[in-house]
Amino acid sequence: MTRIPILLVFLLLLFITALSSVQVTKTAKVPAGKTYVYLDENNKEVARKRSGQTAGTTGVTDCAEVPCPSTFDKNVVCWKCKKRPATKSQ
């Protein structure tokens, strides 16, 4: 009789562990009327995304919104990004 509660607890823990290992990614889009410009550490343009496109760039992470240069249009949002160091797979 005590095997059933122990089995249920084990299955519940297994289920919770499986859920916690799933990574949820949101696919954000650039808002209508906006353009996102991604800059690297040297303020060089890495990518430019227009409204409706998927925000973000491949291989570039750790971005923060920064003020754009005065030469940019008012509907441009600038992001300064750093590449995240590669991690070793185990």
Percent of the chain with pLDDT over 90: 32
Choose the weakest-confidence range: 22-26, 39-43, 46-50, 76-80. Answer: 22-26
The residues that bridge with 36 in the sheet, in sequence order, are 49, 77
d(CA 1, CA 21): 32
Contact of 35 with 49, CB cutoff 8 Å: yes
For residues 24 and 36, the model is more confident at 36
Q: What is the structure's pLDDT at 1?
A: 56
Q: What is the structure's pLDDT at 16?
A: 52
33 has pLDDT over 90: yes
